[in-house]
Amino acid sequence: MLDDRPYMRSPSWESGRSVTFYLLIVTTAAFFLQSIAEHYRLFDVDRYLALSLEGLKRGYVWQLLTFQLLHGGVLHLIFNLLAIYFFGRALEETLTRTDYLRLYVTSGVIGGLFQVLASALFPKVFGGAVVGASAGAMGLIAAFATLFPHRELTLLVLFVIPVSMRARTLLYISLAIAVFGLIVPADNIANAAHLGGLLAGVAYTAWVVQSDAL
């Protein structure tokens, strides 16, 4: 029976607030605190909390988690919150809370490691600190597309133009954009982190979530 499968169980948020709700609140609160600390120069946020190769060399391993709570601006934050909200809610209706949270955090960490690796290999191109929940959000998108490849989605390009496509198509496009961004890098876009998050989302869903159902 489908209901026996871990990823087809009843919504995990029925017994209380959803994990997605708390992710949105914590991420927003972290950005608020980050903005205050940076504006009043209370704390060197980039040095200690943003993810960088130099930081990991100093032993700041917590950066693999803290960088996911920081953002480069309001628009950066909004895009990630929207992705977490729309794809997170759908996944939380099918995954256990544990699997859902592990998927998100693991995708973020793997994405961060991809970015650090790119920085180590090509410091002049991918050097510098990285911030944002994009890798985790990409992991959610990838997991959704892996579980529901034929689900129809309607996206608002530039918040105005509606574009419909299957979830699997969105995954392919996201992968293509990330790979293209590695070949032709653009400023302030952590394409290696995006690619790592996408691959982690697919791998976690295929090897952990779906394998548990067999």
Which residues, including other chains, have CB under 8 Å from residue 192's CB and lie 6 or more apart?
Answer: 111, 114, 115, 117, 118, 126, 178, 182
- Please tell me the predicted confidence (pLDDT) of residue 210: 65
Please report which helix (H) or strand (E) contains residue 164, including its range. strand 161-166
DSSP state letter for 17: S
- Please tell me the predicted confidence (pLDDT) of residue 4: 38
Based on DSSP, count helices (H) and strands (E) in the chain, helices before strands.
11, 2
- Please tell me the predicted confidence (pLDDT) of residue 162: 82
User: Measured between alpha carbons, how far is residue 44 from residues 41, 48, 137, 197 in Å?
Assistant: 7, 7, 26, 26
Series of mean pLDDT values for 10-residue runs along the chain (214 residues): 40 63 97 96 94 96 97 95 95 92 97 96 88 97 96 77 90 96 85 97 88 54
pTM over 0.85: yes
Rounded to 10 degrees, what is the CA torsion of 186, 191, 192, 196? 180
